[in-house]
Structures are given as C-alpha cells and as structure tokens.
Amino acid sequence: MRMLLGALALAASIVHTATRTGQVETLYTSPPHQAIAAFAQDGNLVAWFAPGSAKSCNEVWLWQLGGAQQRLPAQGGTNRNVTCGWQVPSGAPVGLAVAANGGSPALLWTLHESATQSLRFDYVLGATVADPTERRFQQVAHGTHGPGLWLTGVAGSDGTLVYAVTQVAYRNQVDCLTSPKTPGACDLEIVGGGIYRVVGRKLPQPIKDAPASVQVAASGNEVAFVPATDSSPTDGHPFATPNVSIEVRTVDMGTFVASVSTDGTPEAIALSSSTLALLGRVGDKVVLSWYALPDGSPLGSVELPQKTAPALSASEDAIVFRVGRSIRVVDVQTQKVRTVATATSTPIGLSIAGTRIAWAENVAGRGRIRAITLAP
C-alpha cells in the first residue's frame, strides 16, 4: 500500500512530459518537504536524487519521459543498502549520472561524507532498471588534510557510465610524521588514480591510458577528461594547473581521439559527438572555447561573465552554462550567446539533451524539474 501511494503521489505531481519550443515548463514537482539534491538526463531519460528524512529513505528516481517512473535502489526486506540512510551533508553534493544503455537504463551516483569527518568516506553506487538492487562499486576514503583517495567526477551518456578517482599522498611521509611543522614537510602530490567504466553490475574497469582526473565528460563511446596535476595545501583536494592538456579517448579501448592544450586553468568541460567544450580562466577572464572532433581544431570562443558557474553541457549545436540563476546558450556555429531562461533558485544538474535543456530547482520546500526546448 505504501509503494502504491508513493507511485500515485509521483504520478499526480507530473505536469508535462514534453515541452513547447521556447517556453519553460515544469515537468515534475515533488511532494511537500522533499527537495532534489542532484539531477541528470540522457536522451529521453531524466533522473534525480531525493534526500529522505528521519522517517524515510533517500531515493533515486528514473523517469522515461512520457512513460513509467522507477524508484531506485530497491528498499526493504533483504535489500540493505548504503543509499537509504545516508546523511547528505550540506556542502557535500551528490553526484549523479544516467545512461540510456540501449533500452536498459542504468544509473550511477556518488555519496560523500561531510568534510568535518577526520576520515571521509565516499561511495560509488549504482543500479539498473533490470536489477534495481544497489551495487556498491567502490568505497574510497581520504584524511582531513588530503591523503587518500578522492572521487573527482561522474558522467553518463548512451551506453557509458564512468567515474574518476584520484590518489593523493605526502611527498615524504617520514618528514611529515617526524617534523610536521617544518615548511614543506607535509606537502602533497598526485600519485595515482584513473577513470573507471561501469558496465552492468560487473567490477569497474580502468580506461586504458586515462589518468587521475578532476573533470570527466562522456558522449557515446568517448570520454573527455582534465588530468589532476596538483593538490590543495589546505585540504588536499586535487585540481588542475594552468596549461594542462585535455584529452578525449574511447571508453572501451582507451584509443586516443583528440587532445586540446589550454592557455588558462580549466574549470569545466562538456562533450558531444562532434564538439569538446572547455570553460577556463585565462588571467582575469572567464573564457568558453570549443573544438571540433576528432581533429581538435578550434571552432570558437567567447568571453563570459566572472560569475559564470564552473559547469557545462553540450549538444551538437549548442553549449549550455549558467551565470547565477540565468541559463544561457552559445550557438556553436554563430558564436552568439543568449539567455533562454531564469531559474527560480540555483539550477541543479543543468544540461542539454538534443534540443531539451533541463534542470532541477528547489522552491518553497519542494523540488521541481523544469525544461525548455530550443528551436531546431
């Protein structure tokens, strides 16, 4: 009965399954007092992570637009999982990726402990429509000052689900233990990691020649990544330094596709079958650049406002980004930038699939999914 009531409540909260060109519409509104912590889409699929309460589980929802919705992972009985009772702390965002997977949708999500923990555990979890039981793909941990393993990205597209792990360690652990107050004694460095591919419930496999990375993006059988080149002296989190090369490789074989050298510090990337997009800081400027695949030749660039958020999404024809609550689009052919919508609150998981731009937002204690369809 509880599951039936939940399904009826979800069905009643769905407003539309398709959007009219050029108009922002609400696709879904959550029940009262239920927010959305993460959002992702792929093709005609949308997915979101809904944090629970003291009396209810966290839930991951998958919705085939125009069709059925499914709650993941399986709960109750013998279906013990990490997701249900996980405390989602403020400032520790949930990662979420969805892949249509040839009609057998699959999801990947990451849960992160609060940064106040002396040893911070993070999880890579997943489930599929065919098998909704939670699969724990990897558990990693790092200390307060940084040494250990960091989850640094998750992405999905078509039949591809990937995540990135970076290993940070002391340059000289003996010096740090014996004379920790000596300048430089506890310096950190990147010592390992990689990008891992998830297929079904199998053990994740590293993508050949894909190093530890701080950003990943997927499109079909290709993955783009920003290598991790240094770590913060404050908390040890990995980051990319200026002028790092961004690569695109195939997911299945690790075959090299393209490489792009940056002039500044990369902050976000996006990938489509024909375009690699890069958001970076060059001096005191924020610049969005995009390149043709597979040759990596420059296609265009525009300077953006300083308050542009470090997040991108790309289709064959457009690149989507936001400045505060303002949602904007760059036409990859004309290089024209225009505002297409203004979110009511900070957009979550802003992305484009085909001509549909979608995001989640939380308003008055309820989460909602909104979308706008661009003209072809």
For a pLDDT cut of 90, what percent of the chain falls above it?
81
DSSP track, 41-110: EETTEEEEEE--BTTB--EEEEEETTS-EEEES--STT---STTT----TT-PPEEEEE-GGGS-EEEEE
pLDDT digits (tens, 9 = 90+) for 57-88: 999 999 999 998 999 999 877 788 999 999 98
- Give the pLDDT score at 91: 67
pTM for the predicted model, two decimal places: 0.92
Q: How far apart are CA 70 and CA 81, in angstroms?
A: 17
Q: Which has more pLDDT, 116 or 306?
A: 306
Could you give the CA distance from residue 338 to residue 317 in angstroms, rounded to a whole number? 14
Residue 18 has pLDDT above 60, yes or no: no
Residue 10's pLDDT is 46
- The average pLDDT across 86-91 equals 82
- Point out which residues pair with 352 in neighbouring strands: 357
Strand, helix or coil at 145?
coil
Provide the percentage of residues in the chain whose pLDDT is more than 70.
94
Q: What is the pLDDT of residue 84?
A: 93
Contact yes or no for 111/164 (Cβ under 8 A): no
Q: pLDDT (tens digit, 9 = 90+) per residue, 279-334?
A: 999 989 999 999 999 999 999 999 999 999 999 999 999 999 999 999 999 999 99
CA distance linking residue 55 with residue 53, whole number of Å: 5
The mean-pLDDT minimum among 54-58, 94-98, 245-249, 300-304 falls in 54-58
pLDDT of 375: 86
* Start-end of H helices in the chain: 2-13, 173-178
pLDDT score for 171: 93
For 331, other C-beta atoms within 10 Å of its C-beta total 14
Q: How far apart are the first and last CA of the chain?
A: 44
